[in-house]
Structure 1
Amino acid sequence: MNQTAFPPLRVTDPAAFGRVAVLMGGSSSEREVSLDSGRNVLEALQSRGFDAHAVDGIPALVDALVHGRFDRVFNILHGNKGGGEDGVLQGLLQAFEVPCTGSGVLGSALTMDKIRTKQVWITAGLPTPKFLRLAPGADLRAAALELGLPVFVKPSSEGSSVGVARVVTEADIDAAIEVARGYGGEMLMEQMVVGDELTVGILGDVALPSIRIVPKGEWYDYNAKYIAEDTQYLCPGLDGADEDEIRKLALDAFVAAGCGGWGRVDVMRERAGGRLLLLEANTAPGMTSHSLVPKAARQLGVSFEELCWRILEQTV
């Protein structure tokens, strides 16, 4: 499979997939995004003739699996702590011998932890912004001054820009401290990169066209991702050799982190010099009306319904 076209579907009869659970909701901080994504995926699969059914959260799924109600799972749970991206769900389904979309235990668990993902990327020689690991109770003020402002402070194991604080001047540090207190776990402090924010979707062994994100506000926060209608998405985000480079980097990063199936890799491009720097990988990206993987797939002529089919097809 190359980076400009997809072969015909390998499985053309939806009945071959059996009864499909679309796992959504859960109890993580990203529940509402997951429900939105899940409803879209469920509708897309049902429109193509799949015997697909909504399941809200892991406990409900376990009950259904014990009674043998599903043959495979389309996982669209986001986040950890009741979500489906931290490897717990993947290990559970492995034990039940039920196929599931997305990465396995290793890739899911690793990439849910932004700090350790960066450590793997550094070991593999892949570029990422300078960062510090902040243990619970760490002196955030001292760390910010050590790393050098401006910085982002974010929970190591949350997604969807949940709990992210931006520290541009020392006056912003107190607000970031309050954000950190609200999460209690490890925090990632990362140097802010001045430049373009881009993302690259992954489907199988194909890196989809990059998307350059241009929010109306100063940065791409939760509101810009899921609510605002004035965020611009330019696809492809880069041209020529630069586009080839970012897609190769994203695929290399995805593989280095032990990921597979489908996902998304977020990248910054420095305004001065054009250097690409990896931010994080997402193993269960959103599938909402604002989500980025469907936007990139459409550039290759893949509709939302076909995208869902191709994601699920990888479990066969």
Structure 2
Amino acid sequence: MNPASVVVIGNFDGVHKGHQEVLRVARSLEPGARLVAVTFWPHPMSVVRPGSEPRLLSDLDQRVELLRAAGADVVEVIAFDRALMSMQPEDFLEACISPLNPVRVVVGQNFRFGHRASGNVETLRAYGAGRFEVTGLELLVNEHKTTSSTEIRRLLDEGMVAEAAHHLGRPFRFAGTVVMGHQRGREFGFPTANLPVPAGFAVPAAGVYAGWLTLMHQPDAPAWPAAISVGTNPTFDDVPAVVVEAHALDHDDLELYGVAVAVDFVERLRGNVKFDGIPALIDQIAADVVRTRQVLGVD
């Protein structure tokens, strides 16, 4: 049998402050138990109503990493498929939660599960009576706004990355593997690390941002201050899909093709503009670099 556990359950997309609070409370209520975070992949809506699923704030690897950083000893990823979707709430609990040997289950007060989302916190309590305790937490409110993955997506859609960071508890991060672009930035003196945006993933609104560029999976790697562009490059009209392009300030010698990197967004500088010519574009990029230094407080 598994050791005694305090179990938290949720989608945990983005692992924002509300999710972090669920894990914090769970740990504080049962400090002697292992903390198990149960999450689902893919997003349940991609199975329940394909095409209606939200754009994700993080991929599965990021989610697991963030849950561990928030205190989870174990992350259990449950494959969400049509069989799971059709399970009655009690059957889901018997098959997926009871084997974890919970002494307590902690969820958000709005947690729903089981066939047609018919299970809720009261269903959990009824099932757990005599077996485990159940704690339902109210949603976290931050600066008069409820913290949720939906609210963070809305802020990103408006380019409000600083506000999104308030709900996340950290800057919004987009990660991926650097690909070769048109190399215009290198020609202009501002080489960039280019990251295509996969379908189904969230990024901030088109525009230019100040932030940081970091190598993934290398704990001791430096974080370079970066001017970041998001969009399809309207000046040249030959970038069909949205791309995140990060220029590491004062570095024109980085060889990052094929390297996994992360881009952390700190503040929006401006929207995207279609320039009349290359000299005007270069002047604006230079101004963006100056503004990035000011925002990040670097020389």
TM, length-normalised to structure 2: 0.30
Larger Rg: 2
Higher helix share: 1
Higher strand share: 2
